[in-house]
A and B are shown apart, each in its own frame.
Chain A
Amino acid sequence: MQYMILIYEPESAFEGEVGERRLTDVVAKHMALAGELTAAGIQKNGAGLQPVHTATTVVTDASGAQTLHDGPFAETHEQLGGYYLIEVADLDAALAIAKRVPVAPGGKVEVRPLIVY
C-alpha cells in the first residue's frame, strides 16, 4: 500500500541560532532516512517545503469564483513542512517508518493511505 507521511512542525523551531543548528541536524537525518528508504525501494517520492510565508492559496467559493490568498490555507501552530511517499505492506510498516521521521520538538507526523484508482 502507498502512504503519504506528512510532517508538521512549528516553523519557529528552526529560527534563530539554535534553530539553525537544529535544521542542519534534522535535514541530515532526513537525508539519511530518505537514502535508506530509497535504496530499499520503499520511498517513491518526498520533499521538504519552503516556509509557509512563501505559500499562496487558491480559494474557490461556492459559485466557482477563485481568489488568491497570500499564505497557507489554515493558520496553525504547526505547518506542513515536508512529506515522504512510501510503499509498504500495511499500516504497521508505515507507522514504523513514521516514528523514525526526524522532527523538531512539538512536531507531528501524520500517516495517510493513498486512494488507489
Chain B
Amino acid sequence: MEGRLIEAARGRVVAALAARFRDLDLAEEAFAEAAASAVEAWRRDFPDDPPAWLWRTACRKALDAVRRANTRKNAVHDAPPPEPTPEDAMIAADQPIPDERLRLIFVCCHPALDPAARIALTLKIVLGLSTDRLARAFLVAEPAMLQRITRAKQKIAVAGVPFEIPGPAAWPERLDAVLSTLEVAYAQAYEDAALTTETAAAFAPEVLRLSGLLADLLPGEPEVLALAALIRFAEARRPARLDDTGAMVPLSLQEPHLWRGDRIAEGAQLLDRAADLARPGPRQILAAIHGAHLSRQETGVTPWGDIARLYDALVMQRPGPVSEVNRAVAYAEAYDPDTGLRAFNAIPPQPTWLPWQAARAWLLDQTGQRAAAASAYDAALALGPPPAERLYLDRQRRRLG
C-alpha cells in the first residue's frame, strides 16, 4: 500500500520539486530519498496526508542537497549550520503541493530537445516510468535509453530551457511541440501494440493517461482535447484489431461490437468540448474521422461520404503523404475505386513507405488490376511489415493467386 501511495504521488511531487529547484535530477533524487525514508517513517507514524509528507520531506532533502553543493563550491570549511530560509518556513507551513505538471510537460517537450527523447523524458518525469520500462517500450537497450534521457536533461540544464509556462508569443509553437510529441509517441505505441510486442502494448495506456492529464490541465485548448479524444477512439478499437489468427483486421472490416463503448464515449465527450471552443485544427479533424468510423457501432454503416470530406479538410490543414494516402482510400470507398486510384496517383510515389505500398495494392485490387495489385502486395511484403500486418498482406496476396 505504501508503494502505491508513493507511486500515485510521484508525478505531482517530482514536478513541483523540479519547478521549484529548476533541476530535474535533483527533483528525482530528492523524491527517491523521501520515498525511501517513507517506508520506515510511516511504519512508526502514518501521516494524515502521505503525498504532502512526501512533498515536505523531498523539499528538505533537495534543500540539503543544494546547500551541500553550495558549500562544496564555496569551499567554506567548518561553516556554521545554515539559518532557516524563507523556503524552509514555507515548507513547514504545510503548503499544498503546487500542481506543476503542465510546466514540466512543457519543459520535457521543448522543441529544442531531441524528438526521440521528449516523450521518454515526459513519461519518466511526469508519470514516473522507469528507464528500464521506457527502454522496453521504445525497443532500445537500457543504456541507450538512459543516455537519451541524460542528454536531454543536461541540455535542459545547460542550455537554459525555461521552467515557465510559455508566454503568448511562444505558446503556439511550444504547445504544438507538446502535442506532436504525444501524437508521434501514440502512433508508435499504436503500431507496436497491435502489431509486434506485448511489452510495447503497455506503453499505449501511458500515452492515453498523459493525453488525459493534458486535457485536464488545458481544458480551453481544442487541439489538446481533440488529441485526447483521438487516442481514446484509437484505443477503443484495440480489441478488434487482430483476428483469431493474429492477422491485422482493417478498420472497415472490424467487428464493431468488439469496440470499447466506454472509450468511444470518453472520446466523443472530449471532441464535443473541443468543438464548443470553435477553433478548428487538424487534430480535431483527425479525431472526427476516427469518430465517424466508430459511428458504425450505432448505425451499422460507415459514413464514407463524411469521411472523404473530412479528409479534404485535413489535407488542407495538414498536407502531406499521410493525409493524402488515407484520403485516396476514403475516395475509393465514398465515390468509386477509380476516383481513389486517380487521387492516389497524384501523390508523389513513396515506394519504401509501407502505408503507400499497402494502399496502392488495395486500390489496384479494387479497380480489378489483379496482376499489378499482386506485385504491389509483393512490394509491400518486401518492406518487412510487422507480423500482424504481414499475415494480412500475405493473405491478400495469395487470394490474387
Using CB atoms and an 8 Å cutoff, list the residues of chain A in contact with chain B: 1, 3, 89-96, 111, 113
Contact = CB atoms under 8 A, between A and B. Distances in A.
Interface of B: 110, 112, 158-162, 164, 166, 169-170, 174
A95 B36 CA distance: 40
A11 to B, nearest CB: 27
B160 A96 contact: no
A91 B158 CA distance: 10
A37 B169 CA distance: 18
Most buried by A among B158, B159, B169: B159
A91 B106 CA distance: 13
Contacts of A90: 160-162, 164
A91 B161 contact: yes
A113 B161 CA distance: 11
The 10 closest A-B pairs by CB, nearest first: A90-B162, A1-B160, A91-B160, A90-B160, A113-B159, A91-B161, A91-B159, A92-B162, A92-B170, A113-B160
Contacts of A94: 160
Nearest to B163: A90
Contacts of B158: 113
A92 B166 contact: yes
A89 B166 CA distance: 13
A113 B159 CA distance: 5
Contacts of B170: 92, 96
Contacts of A96: 169-170
A1 B112 CA distance: 16
A89 B162 contact: yes
Contacts of A89: 160, 162
B169 A91 contact: no
Decide if the interface of chain B is mainly helix, strand, loop or mixed.
Answer: loop
Contacts of B159: 91, 111, 113
Contacts of B162: 89-93
Nearest to A99: B173
A85 B149 CA distance: 29
B23 to A, nearest CB: 14
21 contacts: A1-B160, A3-B160, A89-B160, A89-B162, A90-B160, A90-B164, A91-B159, A91-B160, A91-B161, A92-B161, A92-B162, A92-B170, A92-B174, A93-B162, A94-B160, A95-B112, A96-B169, A96-B170, A111-B159, A113-B158, A113-B159
Nearest to B157: A113
Contacts of A113: 158-160
Contacts of A111: 159
B121 to A, nearest CB: 16
Contacts of B112: 91, 95
Contacts of B110: 91
A94 B162 CA distance: 11
Nearest to A112: B159
Contacts of A92: 161-162, 166, 170, 174
A37 B170 CA distance: 19
Contacts of A3: 160
Nearest to B169: A96
Contacts of B164: 90
Contacts of A95: 112
A111 B159 CA distance: 9
Nearest to A3: B160
Contacts of A91: 110, 112, 159-162
Most buried by B among A1, A90, A96: A90
B79 to A, nearest CB: 23
Contacts of A1: 160
B398 to A, nearest CB: 49
A97 to B, nearest CB: 12
B163 to A, nearest CB: 8
A90 B174 CA distance: 14
A89 to B, nearest CB: 7
Nearest to B111: A95
A93 B170 CA distance: 9
A63 to B, nearest CB: 32
A107 to B, nearest CB: 19
B247 to A, nearest CB: 47
A96 B168 CA distance: 13
B299 to A, nearest CB: 48
A55 to B, nearest CB: 28
A91 B111 CA distance: 11
Given A92-B162, A96-B170, 4 more contacts: A3-B160, A89-B162, A92-B174, A94-B160
B225 to A, nearest CB: 25
Nearest to B162: A90
Most buried by A among B159, B160, B164, B169: B160
